[in-house]
Structure 1
Amino acid sequence: MDSTDGFSASPPNRSPGRDDNENSTYIKILVSNMDAGCIIGRGGSTITEFQALSGARIQLSRNNEFFPGTSERIIMVSGIIDDVMKATELILEKLLNEAGETSDAEIISKVRLVVPNNSCGGIIGKGGSIIKSFIEESHAGIKISPQDSNFFGLNDRLVTITGTLEECMYAIDLIMSKLMEDAHYSLSAASLYPYAGLILNGGHGTPLGYTVPSVPYSRANYVPNGVGKYRSNKGMMPPLISTRSSPGGSEGEGISVTIGVADEHIGFVLGRGGRTIMEIIQISGARIKISDRNDFMPGTSNRKVTITGSHEAVNAAEDMIRNKVSSISEG
């Protein structure tokens, strides 16, 4: 299975004699798309193994379903509390190992939990008394983000935990014990990705849990210079070729656009380990291909970046690439 797809396997078999209704709970953890692939494993092997070892159910949001305001996917682990904690430990150990580290207790890790806003008060306590006691007892760092007013209808906050693996697990155990006392925090009300209809305040109905960056340029700044060729009217961007064609002969089937990006800026478009370009692909839904080294547009040192997809996807991807290059140029 492609590691970028959402994943939801069948719940593992339960041991007899457990009171599922009384002890069932869930936890949501944010991970990068790359880390999500590590948890899924080739053909779903890793997530299947973790479910078998822990007895918990592990689900991941799809590759374009991010927590609002981030480019991180959600892992939801559900089941009996002991099973949930075991699965969480397996996940964190795996991420540490994949990062080139070991599960040694001295390695510092960072975990971000998604917690309903109305349940955060129980973790904080009067005057911060509970969260202070959790920090003192676990020796982990625990911070709770303020409620994000940028997204209308967002009722979750992030709880960031830092420390060694052992300290983080101790803190998570304390937090989960408190959350299970909260009637609002119940498995029956849990949804893996409840943000599909979320609207960005002031965004005029921008859907889903991500924001397409604003772009400090206008297509009006680019004037025709021959068939399919454009040049910058303000010198903000390098010359580009924009050959908009419909692969199937019909605009409704999509278009292909090629733009030029200076060779020295390609690294910023790609990002470390390809993360920036992957994020652009995931958010826009377009396909992007960058020409090989020394494969430039005629008469320039600009690499060819070909974007293919629907009009909306291509425009979004092109805008994000331009925005990225413009920010580097201005910097």
Structure 2
Amino acid sequence: PLGSQYFLKVLIPSYAAGSIIGKGGQTIVQLQKETGATIKLSKSKDFYPGTTERVCLIQGTIEALNAVHGFIAEKIREMPQNVAKTEPVSILQPQTTVNPDRANQVKIIVPNSTAGLIIGKGGATVKAIMEQSGAWVQLSQKPDGINLQNRVVTVSGEPEQNRKAVELIIQKIQEDPQ
């Protein structure tokens, strides 16, 4: 239904968080104003399990989710060339070098129920999403033992391909009654 509110959870690599939040939070405030979405970012060292990435929760209409996500994807694509060097090297912390492919990836966290909808019967839906968008779409395996209610969907491709794939994935989020 038009004007309905949905949730989108996206992973944000640390290097992109600053440019999404902006000086004193200005950019994120402006983004919320322009799109009407509510955007919440996890704290700077509060990473999604098994990653060194922050979680961004976006709530808004489908249009708002697509708009906010487009902005975030742009910031992630602007990976600083020296990102591997910007992390202070500490004996306690393993150096987190960022995979250069990360700039062309979108990582979305979805509940298991939505993951099922994205995969489809025998993988049919995820194949269709890849064919329609031209992007590569992968879902993380259900981790053994850990009762994680979520899966990570990684979309990789050209900006336009990723945008299309994310739109199709957001449609699936819309279809999940939960």
Task: Give TM-score, length-normalised by structure 2.
Answer: 0.82
- Calculate the aligned-residue CA RMSD, in Å: 1.8
- 2:170 alignment partner AA: M
Report the counterpart of residue 26 of structure 2 in structure 1.
Answer: 45
SS in 2 for 1:174: helix
Q: How does 1:266-305 map to 2 (within 5 A)?
A: none
- Secondary structure of the 1:161 match is strand
After superposition, residues 176-195 of structure 1 pair within 5 angstroms as 176-184=170-178
Aligned partners of 1:175, 1:39: CA distance in 2, in Å? Answer: 22
* CA displacement, residues 144-197 of structure 1 (integer Å, 9 cap, x when unaligned): 11111253x31111100001111101001001111211112xxxxxxxxxxxxx
Does structure 1 residue 166 correspond to structure 2 residue 160? yes
1:131 alignment partner, SS class: helix
1:58 positional shift:
1.1
Unpaired runs of 5+ in structure 2? 82-102
Local SS of the residue matching 2:45: coil
- Partner residue in 2 for 1:290: none
Looking at structure 1, the residues matched to 113 and 54 of structure 2 have their Cα atoms a distance apart, in angstroms, of 22
Which residue in 2 is equivalent to 1:148?
143
Deviation track 1:283-320 (CA, whole Å, cap 9, x = no partner) reads xxxxxxxxxxxxxxxxxxxxxxxxxxxxxxxxxxxxxx
Contact 2:35–2:64 at 8 Å: present in 1 too?
Answer: yes
Query: Is the CA contact 1:29–1:113 (under 8 Å) kept in the aligned structure 2?
Result: yes
Relative contact order (C-alpha < 8 Å, sep 6+): which is higher? 2
Asked if 1:83 is matched to 2:64, the reply is yes
Whole-angstrom CA distance in 2 between matches of 1:84 and 1:92 = 12
Quote the residue 1:139 is aligned against. Answer: 134
Letter matched to residue 114 of structure 1: I
Structure holding more helix per residue: 2
Match of 2:45 among 32, 55, 64: 64
Corresponding position of 2:151? 157
Does the CA-based 8 Å contact 1:112-1:161 persist in structure 2? yes
Secondary structure of residue in 2 paired with 1:43:
helix
Rg larger in 1 or in 2? 1
Query: Identity of paired residues, percent?
Result: 36
The ranges of structure 1 where at least 4 consecutive aligned residues each deviate by more than 4 angstroms after the TM superposition are none
Is there any run of 5+ residues in structure 1 with no aligned partner, and where?
1-17, 101-107, 185-331
* Distance in 1 between residues matched to 2:71 and 2:44, nearest whole Å: 22
Corresponding residue of 1:96: 77
2:123 is aligned to 128
Distance 2:120 2:138 in 1: 13
CA contact (8 A) 1:145 1:158 kept: yes
